[in-house]
Amino acid sequence: MFNSSFSSGNLSYSERLKRINYFIILLILILFSFGLLALYSVADGNFNSWPKNHLYRFLIGLLLIFFLCMVDIKIIFKFAYPIFFLNILVLALIPFIGTETFGATRWIKIAGISLQPSEFVKYTLILALAKYYHNIQDTNINSLSKLFIPTVLILIPTIIVFIQPDLGTALVIAIGSFSIFWVAGLSYRYFITGGILGLLSIPVAWQFLREYQKERVFTFFNPERDPLGNGYHILQSKIALGSGGFFGKGYLDGTQSHLNFLPEMHNDFIFTMFGEEFGFLGSVFLIIIYLIIILLSFRMAITSKSLFSRFLSIGVTFVFSLYVLINISMVMGLIPVVGVPLPFLSYGGSSTLAIMGGFGLLMNCHIHQRTTLEKGDFF
């Protein structure tokens, strides 16, 4: 089907297709099917609203994965910085050309499709940082001067997103990028001092939080503070999960969700609905699939030859883990509500595309695990 004339770089297209890790694709498909089921339940048995759109987005996402698999890693490596800066540019332009929803300006309309550049910047930042540390592999990365550029690279998107305001995404961007520092081998000292500085900066960061964000944090520490306001959602979410029990209330029979006691069921709180209807059994099954995907991805990451692809794979995997961990912890009342979707289940176009794009990059690294990369320039 694919002959060598279609090949690019060292690998032919058919070889690339062959090297894709189809087991992970299968796991993703399973997760997505659960998402579709859950959204169908959220929509009270109406396929044409959320489930249908979710399906379209997922199909586009699959195309994106396969497209990214077909691209030579050298090209991705080459354009890592430009892609990141283009993303930053669009992000920076949002206040002027974006659309406002619920008091936050996060979206930009391109050809009639609303996209959220902040979802993509989580991955493009990883791309840029991976390239940076690939380039400086021969030098002492622990010197402070070498730390300056990546810090700036991280701060730019984090600050822009933070003032949008979108605390959850800003956190994922920042924490996600630390994984590159970690695997690049930055001294533990930095992580310890960073941690201390981070704790010390909380009072300062607090000043910059919006009122509603402060409320959420207050509510997290004392949900009974406002049982009908901010605490209501988290309390109802816990009730929904808890009342699900071991086997759940049964598909389409979740009372908390179908009687509208849950907020944002199609989005951030979809795990709650899933947990109510499918119980502990279903939820743990879901969590295990996520964990398998993550562990497989980490294993795939360290088999790559080039540092760029290792860093990239690990960063992408870690960002994916953050999505899952933050979302599920949030709906179970372990951390404050920050607004992070659950991959493949939540109904969100940009996040689905970004996450699947991330898996595209991961697969690309996996396919090109034996390709070595020279240190590159800016272009």
Q: Which residue ranges make up the site for other proteins (CB under 8 A)?
A: 137-138, 179, 182-183, 185, 236, 238-246, 255-256, 258-261, 275, 279-280, 283-284, 287, 290-291, 294-295, 298, 301-302, 307, 310, 314, 318, 321, 325, 328-329, 332, 334
Shorter beta-carbon distance to other proteins: residue 79 or 191: 191
For residues 113 and 281, which CB has a smaller minimum distance to other proteins in the complex? Answer: 281
- Tell me the C-alpha distance between 315 and 313, whole Å: 5
With respect to other proteins, which residue has the nearer C-beta, 162 or 290? 290
Least distance CB 260 / other proteins (angstroms): 4
Place of tokens 């997290």: 220
Q: How far is the CB of 148 from other proteins (least distance, A)?
A: 22
- Length of the chain equals 379
Residues 6+ apart with CB under 8 A from 269: 233, 237, 262, 263, 331
Distance between CA 359 and CA 357 in Å, rounded?
A: 5
We find the least distance from the C-beta atom of residue 291 to other proteins, in angstroms, to be 5
- Which lies closer to other proteins via its Cβ, residue 283 or residue 350? 283
What is the C-alpha to C-alpha distance for residues 285 and 262, in angstroms, rounded to an integer?
Answer: 22
CB-based contacts of 169: which residues, under 8 Å, 6+ apart?
Answer: 118, 119, 122, 161, 339, 340
Q: Residue 87 half-sphere exposure, CB side, CA atoms within 13 Å?
A: 26
In the sheet that 104-110 helps form, which strands lie side by side, from edge to edge? 99-101, 104-110, 113-115
Cβ 13 to other proteins shortest distance, Å? 30
Cβ distance to other proteins smaller for residue 108 or 337: 337
Minimum gap (Å) between residue 299 Cβ and other proteins: 8
